[in-house]
Amino acid sequence: MPHNANSSLVAVIMGSKSDWDTMSHAHEMLEKFGVPHECHIVSAHRTPDWLKEFANTAEARGLQVVIAGAGGAAHLPGMCAAQTILPVLGVPVQSAALNGMDSLLSIVQMPSGIPVGTLAIGKAGAANAALLAIAMLATANPELREKLRKFRQEQEAKVRNDELPGK
Ligand code: RP5
C-alpha cells in the first residue's frame, strides 16, 4: 500500500484488513488520477488511540479529504469526522450478516452537526468515494478537473459504443 505521510492529499482508512477487497477500489481510482494518497487500517473500536492520533493530525499533515470504510457497527467514519474538520466520506462495507445494511445505516444516520458523506454499499461506493474526493480537490485544481472531464467523456464513449449480444 502506498504510504507517503508527507504529501498525501487523501487518506483511505478502513476498520480491518478484511475491508481491503472493497476499499482497494478507492485506492485504484486515486491511483488512476494520480492523486497522492495513503491507506491505513484504523479501527474505531480495536485501535481507538490510533484513530484519535490519525484524525487529530490529519489536517496538519496536509490531508484534504478522508475516505473511511467500515462494516457492521460501522462507527469509524463518524468517529473520525468527530475529530477532524476535514470532509469525511463514508463507505459501507458489505457485511456477511446483514449484507451491508447495518454498515449503511450506521454510517448514514449521523446526527446533525457532524456530517459524513455516505456512499453506496461496497465496491461502487469505494470507487465513487474516490471520484467524489477527486471532484472536491478539482475545485481548486484545473489539471485534476480536466482529468475528471476526460474520465467522464471516456465513460460516455464506452457506453455509447457498447453493443448488446446478438443485436
Ligand atoms: C469492522 O468490522 C471492519 O470495518 C470490518 O468490516 C468488520 C469485520 O472486521 P474483521 O472481523 O474482518 O476484522 O470493524
16-63 pLDDT, tens digit per residue, is 999 999 999 999 999 999 999 999 999 999 999 999 999 999 999 999
ipTM reported for the complex, 2 dp: 0.96
Which residue's C-alpha comes closest to atom 3 of ligand 1? 15
72-87 pLDDT, tens digit per residue, is 999 999 999 999 999 9
Give 82-150 as a 3 state SS string.
Answer: CCCCCCEEEEEECCCCCCCHHHHHHHHCCCCCCCCEECCCCHHHHHHHHHHHHHHHHCCCHHHHHHHHH
The finding on whether 47 has its CB within 6 A of some atom of ligand 1 is no
The finding on whether 71 has its CB within 6 A of some atom of ligand 1 is yes
